[in-house]
Amino acid sequence: MVPDSVILVDGTPVTEAELTYLALVNYGAYTSFRVEDGGVRGLDLHLARLEASAVELFGESPGEMRLRDLMRQAVADQADGWLRVSLFSPEIRPRDAGWHGCPRVMTAVFPSPPPLGEALRVLPVTTGRDAVHLKHTATLPLIRARRRARAAGYDDALFVDDTGLVSEGTLWNIGLVRGETVVWPQAAMLAGVTQALIGRGLASVGMDAVSEPIGLAELGRFEAAFLCNSTTPACAITAIGRVAFAGADATIARLQQAWRSNPRQPI
């Protein structure tokens, strides 16, 4: 197990058989987030993600009340920490994949991980994830792309399609800034919760957002770039391949404030 973690399945301690299944079969979905003072920013979005994923991958959803009950049980008396909620079913295996029903719910609580960084250089990689709209457990493409970027001297990888359109990063969404406008890629990607929270709060910091196709050849028309995910509300991207971006501390601060403008929702 992860050090200092508490892992439950449907509210009871995880068994060896369940861990063995999870180690051998990566069919499932999850979401993860920081718990702060007993609340979660964007909890409604995380719950909606889990319910939609459950129906698509398994046939039924545990339901919001059940998910909330299991989250509260997992967090217990811890006011702060990191909570991952995963959906899986031991009845589904490579040779017997026809089962339909309500998945089991695994909750794992452990110390919050640090942000991805303060300023990152990313390598464009022509690849992507299968079923990109799902936050699923098949992570080989993203880990492989990240390894390739690190070997080339970059911090992380940015996915682009075979026409050169930017989509998403390995563990994060990307936004580009043009004046007072955040431009999100119009491409196949996972709709991120942090991305949505920034969008909800942009008006409060005097900014707005649009979605447009963004090609690698067009990156020079933007003043700044940033990444965002649940551990990193906003972090500057200083280079995408050979395209460099100037320092954007003030813009990053505004984006972080837009994220913070979303209240924590009680579990």
In a domain? residue 65: yes
239 and 163 in one domain? yes
227 and 207, same structural domain? yes
- Strands of 29-35's sheet in order across: 12-13, 6-9, 104-110, 81-88, 29-35
Q: Are residues 36 and 53 in contact, defined by beta-carbon separation less than 8 angstroms?
A: no
Mean pLDDT of 206-224: 97
Question: Do 133 and 162 share a domain, yes or no?
Answer: yes
Indicate the residue among 86, 110, 134 that finishes a domain: 110
**One domain, residues 126 and 99:** no
Nearest to 223 by CA among 253, 194, 244, 199: 244
Do 210 and 105 sit in the same domain of this protein? no
Within this chain, do residues 145 and 70 fall inside the same structural domain, yes or no?
Answer: no
Residue 128's pLDDT is 82
CA distance 68 to 88: 17
CATH number for position 90: 3.30.470.10
E strands of the chain, at which residues? 6-9, 12-13, 29-35, 39-41, 81-88, 104-110, 119-126, 156-160, 166-169, 173-178, 181-185, 208-212, 224-229, 232-240, 243-244, 264-266
Q: Which residue has the tokens 């690698």?
A: 216
Band of residue 5 on the pLDDT scale cut at 50, 70, 90? confident
Q: Of the candidates 253, 35, 226, which has an alpha carbon nearest to the alpha carbon of residue 117?
A: 226
Asked if pLDDT for residue 3 goes beyond 60, the answer is: no
How far, in Å, CA of 91 to CA of 105, rounded? 14
Instruction: Tell me, yes or no, whether 79 and 103 share the same domain.
Output: yes
pLDDT average, residue stretch 237-263: 96
Amino acid residing at 257: Q
Each residue's pLDDT tens digit, 115-167:
999 999 999 999 888 999 999 999 999 999 999 999 999 999 999 999 999 99
Give the range of the structural domain holding residue 185, as residue numbers without chain letter: 119-262
In a domain, 267, yes or no: no
Co-location of 135 and 86 in the same domain: no
Does any domain span residue 246?
yes
Average predicted confidence (pLDDT) for the chain: 96
Enter the pTM of the model.
0.95
**Looking at the DSSP assignment, which residues form a beta bridge with residue 123?**
157
Spatial CA neighbour of 53 closest among 16, 105, 96, 5: 105
Q: What percent of the chain has pLDDT over 70?
A: 99
Please, what's the b/e burial string for 135-169 (b: 16 or more CB within 10 A of its CB; e: otherwise)?
A: bbeeeebbeebbeebeeeebbbbbbbeeeebbbbb
Instruction: Report the relative pairing of strands 119-126 and 156-160 from DSSP bridges.
Output: parallel
The model's pLDDT over 174-196, given as tens digits with 9 standing for 90+, comes to 999 999 999 999 999 999 999 99
Query: Average pLDDT for residues 19-27, to the nearest whole number?
Result: 96
Residue 1 lies in a domain: no
* Tally of domains within the chain: 2
User: What residues form DSSP beta bridges with 124?
Assistant: 158
Determine what percent of the chain falls in helix, strand and coil, rounding each to the nearest 5: 30, 35, 35
CATH number at residue 232: 3.20.10.10
Q: Report yes or no on 226 lying in a domain.
A: yes
d(CA 107, CA 69): 11
Question: Quick check: is 21 in a domain?
Answer: yes
pLDDT at 229 over 80: yes
Which of 4-8, 24-28, 129-133, 182-186 bottoms out in mean pLDDT, i.e. has the lowest?
4-8
Residues 160 and 253 placed together within one structural domain of the fold: yes
CA geometry: angle at 159 spanning 105 and 133, to 5°?
35
Domain end, chosen from 110, 129, 161, is at 110
Do residue 172 and residue 213 come from a single domain?
yes
Computed from CA positions of residues 185, 191, 197, 203, in that sequence, does the dihedral angle turn out positive or negative?
positive
* 154 and 251 assigned to the same domain: yes
Among candidate residues 110, 138, 165, the one where a domain is terminated: 110
227 and 180 in a common domain: yes
User: Tell me, what amino acid is at 151?
Assistant: A
